[in-house]
């Protein structure tokens, strides 16, 4: 049997006396949207910070296409094909929309040439600009190409954050609350975009999200975390009707939480 596309294997994370993840395992199938849900403080962002190698588990392993991530450094993660967004938008506010996308793409531009203006580097930079423009066109942000990111509305900034992550051409995209604070119309656009990424580009997505209307509509599978432990896993239908999940999370106004 081949290795899972992506997996956490018995991951433990401790902060002083606090056990943020208590031996958490889950597997993600290639080409799916896998949602990770649960109350605030459950450990969802900690999972993402482990994947990005900002946090190192005290136990367990994380494997992407069969390779352990634990010996890698944070800057290597985008290069092996894992892109992410942050719970709090991490754009370069003063740079333009296009420049932000190029920052995202920079991990794919070879930087090992001894001369900054080597033909290979210039060619790949020109290609990166073309690719960035195409991405902006696709999500309807072309119009804002040369506008500083800080001048965009909140919804557009969230969208740009996803585009920035996409610019590095990830095979796995991890999104931390992309719908938080968005209006219904913007959530619908995000829904279409994420489904398109999976269908048309074959990208795999791990989605941390409190907006249940989005999760239930697009997730193929859902894992539920509570206090660092997996309490349920299954299809949206299975999870929605699981009494433990309703009790720990869904029953407590998950829709309104941010
Ligand atoms: P979630 O994203 O599910 O809301 P987090 O992963 O952010 O939860 O947090 C899980 C737990 O770990 C919380 O109790 C949080 O306070 C704690 N935690 C997360 N990061 C740190 C850190 N860098 N230092 C100390 N405690 C942390
Ligand atoms: Mg979080």
How many of the other CB atoms lie within 10 Å of CB of 250? 20
What span, in angstroms and rounded, lies between the C-alpha atoms of 110 and 2?
31
Beta bridge partners of 34: 206, 221
Which atom in ligand 1 lies closest to the alpha carbon of residue 176? Answer: 2
Beta bridge mates, 176: 208
Question: Is the CB–ligand 1 distance for residue 43 below 6 Å?
Answer: yes
Are the C-beta atoms of residues 97 and 152 closer than 8 Å to each other?
Answer: yes
Q: What is the pLDDT along the chain (258 residues), one digit of tens a residue?
A: 688 999 999 999 999 999 999 999 999 999 999 999 999 999 999 999 999 999 999 999 999 999 999 999 998 999 999 999 877 777 888 999 999 999 888 876 655 544 556 666 666 778 889 999 999 998 889 999 999 999 999 999 999 999 999 998 999 999 999 999 999 999 999 999 999 999 999 999 999 999 999 999 999 999 999 999 999 999 999 999 999 999 988 886 555 443
Q: Which atom number of ligand 1 is nearest to the Cα of residue 228?
A: 10
Q: With contact defined as beta carbons under 8 Å apart, do 208 and 176 qualify?
A: yes
**Alpha carbon nearest to ligand 1 atom 12, residue:** 20
Is any atom of ligand 1 closer than 6 Å to the C-beta of 23?
Answer: no
Decide whether any atom of ligand 1 lies within 6 Å of the 44 Cβ.
yes
* pLDDT tens, position by position, 171-208: 999 999 999 999 999 999 999 999 999 999 999 999 99
What is the number of the ligand closest to the CA of 39? 1
For the chain, helix, strand, coil in percent to 5 are 40, 25, 35
This prediction's pTM: 0.90
Q: How far apart are CA 161 and CA 178, in angstroms?
A: 9
pLDDT tens digits, 98-113:
999 998 888 766 555 4
Which atom of ligand 1 lies nearest, measured to the CA of 43? Answer: 6
* Residue 177 zone, left/alpha/beta (φ > 0; ψ -120 to 50; rest): left
């Amino acid at each position: 049997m081949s290795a899972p596309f992506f997996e956490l294997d018995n991951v433990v994370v401790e902060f002083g006396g606090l056990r943020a993840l208590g031996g958490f395992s889950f597997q993600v199938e290639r080409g799916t949207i896998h949602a990770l849900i649960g109350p605030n403080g459950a450990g969802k962002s900690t999972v993402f910070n482990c994947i990005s190698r900002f946090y190192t588990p005290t136990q367990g392993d994380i494997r992407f296409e069969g390779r352990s991530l634990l010996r890698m450094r944070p800057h290597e993660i985008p290069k092996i094909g894992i892109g992410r967004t942050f719970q709090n938008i991490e754009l370069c506010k003063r740079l333009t929309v296009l420049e932000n996308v190029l920052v995202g793409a920079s991990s794919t531009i070879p930087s090992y040439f001894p001369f900054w203006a080597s033909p290979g580097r210039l060619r790949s930079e020109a290609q990166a600009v073309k690719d960035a423009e195409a991405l902006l066109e696709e999500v309807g942000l072309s119009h804002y190409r040369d506008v500083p990111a800080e001048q965009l509305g909140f919804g557009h900034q969230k969208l740009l954050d996803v585009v920035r992550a996409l610019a590095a051409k990830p095979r796995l995209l991890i999104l931390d609350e992309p719908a938080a604070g968005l209006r219904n119309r913007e959530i619908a656009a995000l829904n279409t975009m994420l489904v398109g990424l999976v269908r048309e580009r074959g990208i795999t997505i791990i989605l941390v999200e409190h907006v249940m209307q989005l999760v239930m509509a697009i997730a193929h599978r859902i894992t539920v975390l509570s206090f660092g432990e997996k309490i349920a896993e299954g299809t949206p239908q299975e999870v929605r009707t699981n009494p433990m999940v309703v009790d720990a999370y869904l029953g407590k106004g998950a829709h309104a939480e941010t």
